[in-house]
Homo-oligomer: A and B are copies of this chain.
């Protein structure tokens, strides 16, 4: 099809940059992460906010998908008011039938054409970053800057990463070839074609804390491999993905493609949409982010149906602090890690293992021992300093839902000694915001019944470990049994670092060493860091390794003689 050749040319440089970055794993970002007027236009923020305010208490009418039968209103801002936005609800059968129909046309495009169309979708949707930021803030509770980054640039870069990875896989061999086998005195010649066919309609099940960031990778990995996708949103966080999907549908339509290729699956209170979608025989892959209990169910349904699932479930992220050259710098880093979005990140650290004998601080004057109790106090002071700093209140943001707030109370009443209690974090302009600062609790290594489960939210444990080695063993065991997305270790000893690295690699979890300054283990970088490993109970997939794309299509060979 020549109709996309201009589009291919337009986006070749972007695709090549992404392909280069996923190979070298160097820093790359197609979209700037700063919500800056200089980058995005001086009016961009005001326009985005205006668009947001206009949308409140009104029907969301931008979707081009067809077949809606009713409407639903279900979102509340964690900052304390109902959004009042009405969405069209389409049945599972109609969504899948629409998707399957759109998929036929889409799968007939070449991977070059698909990648150009998908990059165009992303580029066009980039115009909505500011509205998207307000939509994200008032569904997830994230602060504005984080909302902008997480749903905007960081999500879009993960989507482009998935496009590049899918392109890499599908272009790893030619589409056609003349095959000539020498047979001595003559040759046998065959014309061969290799056609990739999609596995089947994708359903990506989103979550309420990172509705866009956790959804786009699976959606784009499915799309680049020829599948249609249905983004099944969380009823509490519809708006962000609605903005993005509506823009994608608009772009598809302008390009003469069926906008039902990318649909929003919106649940209502009475309709168990997810299971009806993923049990449909035309559905060929499922992506999921959310609780382990429901994730296990999704995985079981997919296993039963013989289709791949790509899941991110709960995990318990662990940190070991053993020694450092700069205690203040690591405490700054750790305090920020537990405070960012009030710990409501799948990557936020929960359990801090510290040797009972304290930690060694090495500087010009020699080695100082900081006792376990002193470490707890210093850590609590650093968190309290952030809590008390009004300028940092947006870092904490609001608590997405009441369950998380209740969990803070449950933790405080768990019997563990409280190192730092939780307080509200006032959010300027939003008196009714649901907030909670981080709780720090004390635990013994032996008390793993308490700390070994995920306490999603602003809840952390400082655990008195017998030794560094026992901490490594405990973390290793925790990863294998309860899963983790991140682990982290602070040590000045190369030997201890190697021990930790090998243990974490063997346990199947990513590991970070000695993070200080403006880089936190909560964050992974598209094109460079794989998010998740698929090798521990926190999930079976990684954004975006080859396995994340290669299971979404098949290759069919056509051989023609003469």
Which residues of chain A have a CB within 8 Å of any CB of chain B?
22-27, 168-169, 172-174, 177, 179-183, 188, 190, 192, 194-195, 197, 199, 299, 303-304, 306, 497, 501, 504-506, 508-519, 525, 528-530, 533-535, 540, 542, 545-547, 550-551, 554-562
Contact = CB atoms under 8 A, between A and B. Distances in A.
Contact of A173 (B25, B299, B303, B555): B25
Secondary structure type dominating chain A contacts: mixed
Given A25-B179, A179-B26, A505 B559 contact: no
A514 B179 contact: no
A480 to B, nearest CB: 11
A546 B169 contact: yes
Contacts of A177: 24-26, 528
B542 A192 contact: no
Contact of A197 (B22, B23, B508, B517): B508
Nearest to A326: B562
Contact of A512 (B174, B195, B561): B561
Given A23-B172, A190-B519, A513 B557 contact: no
B517 A188 contact: yes
Contacts of A306: 299, 303, 540
Contacts of A26: 177, 179-180
A508 B190 CA distance: 21
Given A179-B528, A508-B197, A174 B557 contact: no
Contact of A174 (B24, B194, B518): B24
Contacts of A23: 172-174
Contacts of A558: 501, 504-505, 510-513
B181 A525 contact: yes
Contacts of A299: 306
A510 B557 contact: yes
Given A192-B528, A306-B540, A519-B561, A547 B556 contact: no
Nearest to A515: B561
A213 to B, nearest CB: 18
A547 B550 contact: yes
Contacts of A529: 192, 557, 559
12 contacts: A23-B174, A177-B528, A181-B525, A192-B529, A303-B303, A501-B558, A510-B557, A513-B560, A513-B561, A519-B561, A533-B556, A535-B556
A554 B24 contact: no
Contacts of A183: 518
A396 to B, nearest CB: 22
B514 A561 contact: yes
A311 B540 CA distance: 21
Given A510-B559, A535-B556, A546 B172 contact: yes
